[in-house]
A and B are shown apart, each in its own frame.
Chain A
Amino acid sequence: NAGVTQTPKFQVLKTGQSMTLQCAQDMNHEYMSWYRQDPGMGLRLIHYSVGAGITDQGEVPNGYNVSRSTTEDFPLRLLSAAPSQTSVYFCASRRVNEQYFGPGTRLTVT
């Protein structure tokens, strides 16, 4: 099992550009989520999904969109990147209570 995979590992965007962060899991977990990690802020939930076709907002959803067309994939879209979205993004999937995190994507918006 690859677990939770994320691509790309690093990305630099200019303000106003859009992009999609990819996340995939091969553990057949229903629950998936996206977090951002900022220094001194811990991890904050952006969006989550409890199954294919079902998504909901977390603490900090503004500027991000998600969709869940399959159990395996949960992409995160930045519609118009802003410097405030410079962060490390983690995708996670969960079986009951144990969350499995991906390796993260470091995004810089200039």
Chain B
Amino acid sequence: QQQVKQSPQSLIVQKGGISIINCAYENTAFDYFPWYQQFPGKGPALLIAIRPDVSEKKEGRFTISFNKSAKQFSLHIMDSQPGDSATYFCAASIGETGNQFYFGTGTSLTVIP
């Protein structure tokens, strides 16, 4: 049973466009929601994370939007660049130091020049 559901599976965006990836969860005990970026042949790397006490967090071109009542959160990549082409995973845990992180199934993003 997937604890965190992620969509879409793949996404193609023109350079300069906005990429949006969505995740949903059921366990209301989750209170830490990170996003990871993974390039081919590499391990995932933390991109940005949010806690449910805020509705939005922005770091450069990357923004997380969080809707606690809907139990959904999303990653927005503004001004998408070819270098952003990668697989993105959302995740959830109970606490920042929670022992178990549950990952979404991943979104393969391709940014066309």
Contacts and interface: CB of A to CB of B under 8 A. Distances in A.
Main secondary structure of the interface of A (DSSP, over half): strand
Interface string B92-104: 0000110111111
Contacts of A92: 43
B interface, over-half SS: loop
A56 interface: yes
Contacts of A34: none
B99 A48 contact: yes
A102 B103 CA distance: 17
23 contacts: A31-B99, A33-B101, A35-B103, A42-B2, A42-B4, A42-B103, A42-B104, A42-B105, A45-B101, A48-B99, A50-B99, A56-B99, A59-B102, A90-B43, A90-B44, A92-B43, A97-B49, A97-B96, A97-B97, A99-B44, A99-B101, A101-B43, A102-B43
Interface of B: 2, 4, 6, 9, 32, 34, 41-46, 49, 89, 96-97, 99-106
